[in-house]
Structure 1
Amino acid sequence: MNYAMYIVDAFADKPFTGNPAAVVPLVEWLPDALMQSIAAENNLSETAFLVHQADGRFHIRWFSPISEIPFCGHATLASAFVLMHELGRAQPLVFHAKAVGDITVTESGDGLIGMRFPNRAPQPVADPPADLLAGLGAAPAEVWANEQAWIAVYESAAQVRALRPDAALLTRVAPRDVCVTAAGDADGVDFVSRYFWPANGGYEDPVTGSIHAGLMPFWAARLGRMHLTAQQVSARTGLLYCALDAEGVSVSGRARRYLKGIVSL
């Protein structure tokens, strides 16, 4: 059997930036083990599989090279780009995933693709795990957490960029991943982050849309603004345009197709 597959750089304004995701549209689900094998073969942060439903929604599942992931933002953005720009689907699009419910996606005239996420605001952690603190290598000012990740808050963006965490130690704080963040230090950037997930996908994720469902409420409260620009300061880097309202969190970014091909099985 042959299946179309696209690789799209999400949260990317130019080639070879952002986070590459593979997108595989399907008529019906493949066996879980086969989807996991395809994701492992792709060896990208995530491979998204889509099945169109009779009610118009697209059920979506995300697989890292290691396991199925409950919530992924950048591969959702990549999937929306493929549906709108490669397959001619009209917006708004509605994706559905078991762990997060419906995700509505629209594209604005300037090419920004916006995703509506639930508010996943973190809570402060009074006694963070010793392996987390040791694994980070430099003590954060605070530690917070939501259902997805431990969130270590630093006093400067320079500290976030300089971190070289110990993957073996961070694996021990699973099932949560690890996000590090600080206020921005560049014009037009309100806060920065990096994301480490050795237990669930890889050492460092280039750009992580999903964690901004937690970072945006945190930084909106700190900075007193409901619209913020975020930068994930990985080697590839990426910009995310975030907004908070009573209904949830909006995370927007641009995308570029890198590859269109065929998976032959």
Structure 2
Amino acid sequence: MYQVDAFTDRLFAGNPAAVVPLNQWLPEPLMQAIAAENNLSETAFFVPSADGSYAIRWFSPLAEIDFCGHATLASAFVLFRQMPECEVLSFTAPAVGRLQVWRKADGLIEMRFPLLAPEPVDEVPLALLEGLSIRPDEVWRNRQAWFAVYHDEQAVHDVVPEPTALARLAPRDTVVTAAGREFDCVSRYFWPANGGLEDPVTGSIHAGLAPFWAGRLGRPQLTALQASARRGVLHCQVGEDYVLVAGQARLYLEGSIWLPD
């Protein structure tokens, strides 16, 4: 097993993910138990496919997750270390299809995600208003999360989540976001129903944040800050039906899992 800090250029920042390469799938309850034991935002498991790609699955400590960006970045980081000549990887997952990943010359690892732009909502769930200490100026949503949009970056830093209320929004999580001062956009991500109170850095939500802010700011290339305590920086580019999300990663741990007989 490897533990990798994703979306950061230094240790003890970004979002830590566990990566478990397999030759074949373990039983699902065992993978869930490993993820719970790791107690990280996600543990990624992958197995090689006949076509040269890798089937990938992601588990939070509570449940299997449809789509996880930072654990995909961590998995690619591990594979690129093992295969120094490799420049392109492909992962496949049922909910999102094929995810291509490139090793860039500048040290970034770039992933191609499906574009999951949010749409505005007319009726704001009461649980969302009860779950955020600062009322959002706008509310949008995509299939992954509710988007609480603020017109002031400071609100994103200051908002205090109420986990019991936000958990009632399941299966969707909640992202709070605003245009940034130093970065094009800033965000924080809360997911008490699916993993934990606040995710350090969430690659997958930028498949929605990037097209939202690209439309607002009028440019397809963005640099995003996820303003958690650990912080993470994501480089995004929006295409017609895809989003490129890139970041750096650092290896923290390499070890072995001792499974029961």
Give secondary structure in 2 for the equivalent of 1:192: strand
Q: Which residue of 1 aligns with 2:239?
A: 245
Q: Please give the secondary structure, in 1, of the residue aligned with 2:186.
A: strand
CA distance in structure 1 between the partners assigned to 2:234 and 2:248 by the alignment: 9
Confirm or deny: 8 A CA contact 1:83 1:89 kept in the other structure.
Answer: no
How far has the Cα of 1:185 moved from its partner?
1.6
The answer as to whether partners of 1:48 and 1:75 remain within 8 angstroms in 2 is yes
C-alpha contact (below 8 Å) 1:112/1:254 kept by paired residues: yes
| 1:48-77 deviations in Å (ceiling 9; x for gaps) | 000001101100000000000000000000
The letter for the 1-side match of 2:148 is A
Question: How far apart are 1:142 and its partner, in Å?
Answer: 0.2
Q: Residue deviations 1:118-158, cap 9 Å, x none?
A: 00000001111001111111110000000000000001111
For residue 50 of structure 1, the aligned residue among 46, 51, 64 is 46
Show structure 1 runs of 4+ deviating over 6 A: none
TM-score (norm 2): 0.98
Q: Distance in 2 between matches of 1:51 and 1:89?
A: 20
Q: Which of 87, 91, 96 lines up with 2:92 in the alignment?
A: 96
Distance 1:263 1:192, change over 3 A: same
Q: How many residues get paired?
A: 259
SS at match of 1:263: coil
Per the TM alignment, residue 88 of structure 1 is displaced from its structure 2 partner at its CA by: 4.4
Question: Per-residue displacement from partner, 1:204-230 (whole Å, max 9, x unpaired)?
Answer: 000000000000010000000000000
Per-residue deviation at 1:246? 1.7
Which residues of 2 match residues 1-265 of structure 1 at below 5 A?
A: 5-88=1-84, 90-186=86-182, 189-265=183-259
Q: Point out where structure 1 has 5 or more consecutive residues left out of the alignment.
A: none
Q: Normalising to structure 1: TM-score of the pair?
A: 0.96
Cα distance, 1:89–1:42 mapped onto 2, change above 3 Å: farther
Distance apart, 1:247 and its partner CA = 3.8
Question: Offset of 1:89 from its aligned partner?
Answer: 6.7
Unaligned runs of 5+ in 2: none
Paired with 1:174 and 1:41, the residues of 2 have a C-alpha distance of 23
